[in-house]
Amino acid sequence: MRNPYIYGYLPLITISLFSLTFGMYAVGESLRIFQSIGVYSGMREFLSDFELRILLLIVFAMIFFMMFSALKLIGETIHELGMLFFSKDSEGTTVSQARGGYVILFIGAMCSAFAIQSIYVLVGIFILTVFVYFIYLIYKMSHFISMGGTMGLLVFELLMWTLLLSLVVYVILKLYNGILASLPFAK
């Protein structure tokens, strides 16, 4: 007998690994910024270099953990809403079939540990991992959904993510322009 919850721990480990790798990169970059603006020596009066790195790692890892957890929650909500619209499965067998894809995310998180020095490689690994997981998910769902339902699910998920990301970019640009407009030297 196979346990249906065998992959239940992988999302937590995956999010933790991605958070640590992105956090370690952010620590290195923030220390470089602190040194260039002259704050680093003042911080060293209170904490040793090791303590400062650990403190920054905890802060950045927590921020990334919250961000990746929110993305997972939003992603699962969008996917299950799409399944509600396009799947005729009333027993939930399609949901359990997709859990095998957690291994793809876990492998991507493990690969990100080797790319801590470059943000472009880290982001590339993250995007590639999510893309491969998405393709795997659509492939697995196509066995239980008609061709029209699969296309509808694909379009629905892409449309929802596009709208969500467009909204986030719009809000960030509005905030950025508002901050620039409020600065006295920017006028």
- Determine which helix (DSSP H) or strand (DSSP E) holds 13, and give its type and residue range: helix 10-37
Backbone torsions φ then ψ of 91, nearest 5 degrees: -105, -15
Residue 98 is predicted with a pLDDT of 73
Q: Is 63 helix (H, G, I), strand (E, B) or coil?
A: helix
Provide the phi-psi class of 11: left if phi over 0, else alpha when psi is between -120 and 50, else beta. alpha
Q: How far apart are CA 116 and CA 100, in angstroms?
A: 27
pTM of the full structure: 0.85
Q: What single-letter DSSP state applies at residue 114?
A: T
Express each pLDDT in 63-72 by its tens digit. Answer: 999 999 999 9
Give 187's contacts (C-beta < 8 A, 6+ positions apart): none
**CB-based burial label for 1 (10 Å; 0-12, 13-18, 19+):** exposed
Longest Cα separation, the chain = 70
Among 141, 110, 106, CA closest to 11? 106
Residue 92 is predicted with a pLDDT of 67
Residue 4 is predicted with a pLDDT of 65
Residue pair 11/105 in contact (Cβ under 8 Å)? The answer is yes
Among 11, 139, 17, CA closest to 75? 11
| pLDDT values of the chain reduced to their tens digit, one per residue, 187 residues | 466 677 778 899 999 999 999 999 999 999 999 999 989 888 888 889 999 999 999 999 999 999 999 999 999 899 889 888 888 777 767 777 777 888 999 999 999 999 898 999 999 999 999 999 989 988 888 877 888 888 998 899 999 999 999 999 999 999 999 998 888 875 5
Among 20, 27, 29, CA closest to 50? 27
Residue pair 64/22 in contact (Cβ under 8 Å)? The answer is yes
